[in-house]
A and B are shown apart, each in its own frame.
Chain A
Amino acid sequence: MAKQRWVDISVGLFVLSGILALSVMAMKVSGVSRWSSNKSYHVTAEFADIGSLKVRSPVTIAGVKIGEVTRIELQSADLNAKVTMLLRQDKPIPFQDTSARILTQGLLGSNYISIVPGFDDDSKSAHAYLRDGDVIARTQEAMILENLIGQLLFNIKK
């Protein structure tokens, strides 16, 4: 009887440690629950060229990660890229004059979005901060190394 109980307890522990390992893999290793939906909001921005930006690329302010890209789609009218990103709720970003830029980590690194916040001079107005569904109007497209080199060569020839 005591043997049977030990078998039961150890099987329970085994299954529990399997589930624990799954949650470690989900949260610690792949960072699934970092941006849960109740504490974050979506904003969109339109770029003329996104370079090699991908879904799950980081979104930063002053180099600190505050969110990630959740969706990239090509808009049929303007043929530009509409990027949807999920940002953390606890750091409000001024709505006016805020701009988004696509930068590159290092010379050959991957692309990320950097948000440059505007001034919050009238924080009492109704729409002082970015909120769910907003569109960041001022954007700067990704810098493509080949285009830069092309321009450089063109200028040298002149």
Chain B
Amino acid sequence: MLNRLATLGQSSLNTLQKIGQSGLFLGGLIIRKPDFLKLWADLRHQLYFCGVLSCLIIIVSGLFIGMVVGLQGYHTLEKFGATTQLGQLLALSITRELGPVISALLFAGRAGSALTAEIGLMKATEQLVSMDMMGVDPIARVIYPRFLAGVIALPLLALIFSAVAIYGGYFIGVDWLGVDSGSFWSNMQVSVDFRADVVSGIIKSIVFAIVVVWIAVYEGFYCTPTAEGISQATTKTVVHASLAVLGLDFILTAMMIGSW
């Protein structure tokens, strides 16, 4: 009985310690003063890796999600004779929800897992320790550029996703199903507010970016430096980041709609 109690206590202490450690880790990354001259070479390489190489999956999935929302929305709106409102349905659902959330999920799978695996392997092959030995701060040299690049790249990817998805829906709704092009755009423009819809979508994607990259670099930096440890850390990154994105999305939406 006491043994079980001790196990419970130990595991909760471990969890708390991990949460505190990751919080301190994020705090340290955020308050760090960036030295852009030194950082620039690493940053652009990481932007290429996180941003440019994720572009293809973002554009293709954005196109198909826009097309599917257009198709489904058309067939639902048709029952009410309101197919001219397709632009409104498409733009609101994509700028508010689908754009930030799905690009964050794809980013966690595409770039987050790779970040964890890369940093974990650096730790396993003792590159991080040897950097420390040479007087180079591994957080400044390895972690910080990756963190910054991810935080810059994901909001841009989410914007590209939304724009591509709206044109995908336009293609299906207007070119294929015959919704009038003028009412498609004008209903969209009347109902979409730049600050309330587009900007809140961007704020969401910035929050998602910080959370996803934070989980990815944290899991990589503190993983068990073995082959198994790296694989577990990579899995944890994808699972935790996806759950965090979906949970935070609900909280952020509640905050934005309830306007607290």
A contact residues vs B (CB 8 Å cutoff)? 7-8, 10-11, 13-15, 17-18, 20-22, 24-26, 28-32, 34, 56, 58, 65
Contacts and interface: CB of A to CB of B under 8 A. Distances in A.
A8 B166 CA distance: 29
A90 to B, nearest CB: 18
A27 B69 CA distance: 22
Contacts of A58: 190
Given A21-B162, A29-B166, A30-B197, 18 more contacts: A11-B48, A14-B153, A15-B51, A18-B155, A18-B157, A20-B163, A21-B156, A21-B164, A22-B159, A24-B166, A25-B159, A28-B189, A29-B95, A29-B189, A30-B192, A30-B194, A31-B190, A56-B193
Contact of A29 (B44, B51, B91, B160): B91
B159 A21 contact: yes
B24 interface: no
A30 B52 contact: no
A108 to B, nearest CB: 11
Interface string B12-50: 000000000000000000000000000000001101100
A36 B59 CA distance: 31
B100 to A, nearest CB: 12
Contacts of B153: 14
Nearest to B49: A7
B163 A21 contact: yes
Interface residues of B, number: 30
Interface of B: 44-45, 47-48, 51-52, 55, 91, 95, 153, 155-157, 159-160, 162-164, 166, 185-186, 188-190, 192-194, 197-198, 202
Contacts of B166: 24, 28-29
Contact of B48 (A7, A17, A25, A31): A7
B52 A25 contact: no
Contacts of A8: 44
Nearest to B43: A11
Contacts of A24: 163, 166
A25 B189 contact: no
Contacts of A22: 159, 202
14 contacts: A7-B45, A14-B47, A14-B48, A14-B51, A14-B153, A15-B47, A18-B156, A21-B162, A22-B202, A26-B194, A31-B188, A31-B189, A56-B193, A58-B190
